[in-house]
C-alpha cells in the first residue's frame, strides 16, 4: 500500500489555506487535498506553490472551526465528478455529490473537473429554431436551440 502524503495546515484566511508538506512530496497544482474538519470532510484544491514547502489552496466548503496544525492528506489526483447516463437530469455540487436528495448514482466513470474543452467537431450542432412564442422575436431574431442568446 502506498504511503499517504500528509501535510499540516499553517494558515487560514477565509477560504484560502496554506498547507506545509515535506519538500520532496509537494502535491501537484489542481490536486485535491482532504482535511478532517471536526468530523466533516473538507476538500481543498492546490492553487499555487508559494515556497518554503507550502502550497496555497482554495477550500471547496466551509472552513469554520478549522485550526492551524490540522492534518491534510493529498489524494494525488484532481477533483472528479460522475459522468454517464445515470447523471442526466441530476444536480451535483462541485465535488460530484448529489444535492437533489436522491442517492448517489452508481456510475462507472468519473471525469476530472479540469479538462480541455471538446473540439468544435465534437460539439453537437443544432439547426432547430427555439420558438419563444413571441411572434416578432421568432420572425426578426430567431434563436437556435443550444446556442447563446445575449
Neighbouring C-beta atoms of residue 1, cutoff 10 Å: 3
**By the 8 A CB rule, do 78 and 45 touch?**
yes
- For residue 8, the SS3 value is strand
Per-residue burial over 70-97, b = 16 or more CB atoms within 10 Å of its CB, e = otherwise:
bebebeeebbbbbeeeebeeeeeeeebe
User: The pTM is what?
Assistant: 0.76
pLDDT for residue 92: 95
- Please give the average pLDDT of every successive group of 10 residues along the chain, which has 150 residues: 84 98 95 94 97 97 95 96 94 94 93 90 78 90 78
CA–CA dist 126, 146 (Å, integer): 7
Instruction: Give all domains of the chain, ordered by start, each with its CATH number.
Output: 5-74 (2.40.10.170), 79-150 (no CATH)
CB distance 53 to 22 below 8 Å: yes
CA 6 to chain centre: 21
Amino acid at each position: 500500500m502506498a504511503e499517504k502524503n500528509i501535510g499540516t495546515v499553517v494558515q487560514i484566511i477565509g477560504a484560502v489555506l496554506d498547507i506545509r508538506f515535506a519538500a520532496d512530496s509537494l502535491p501537484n497544482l489542481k490536486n485535491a487535498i482532504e482535511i478532517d474538519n471536526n468530523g466533516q470532510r473538507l476538500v481543498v484544491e492546490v492553487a499555487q506553490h508559494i515556497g518554503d514547502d507550502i502550497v496555497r489552496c482554495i477550500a471547496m466548503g466551509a472552513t469554520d472551526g478549522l485550526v492551524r496544525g490540522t492534518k491534510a492528506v493529498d489524494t494525488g489526483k484532481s477533483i472528479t465528478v460522475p459522468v454517464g447516463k445515470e447523471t442526466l437530469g441530476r444536480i451535483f455540487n462541485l465535488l460530484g455529490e448529489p444535492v437533489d436528495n436522491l442517492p448517489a448514482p452508481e456510475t462507472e466513470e468519473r471525469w476530472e473537473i479540469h479538462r480541455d474543452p471538446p473540439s468544435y467537431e465534437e460539439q453537437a450542432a443544432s439547426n432547430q429554431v427555439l420558438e419563444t412564442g413571441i411572434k416578432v422575436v421568432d420572425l426578426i431574431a430567431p434563436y437556435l436551440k443550444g446556442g447563446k442568446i445575449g
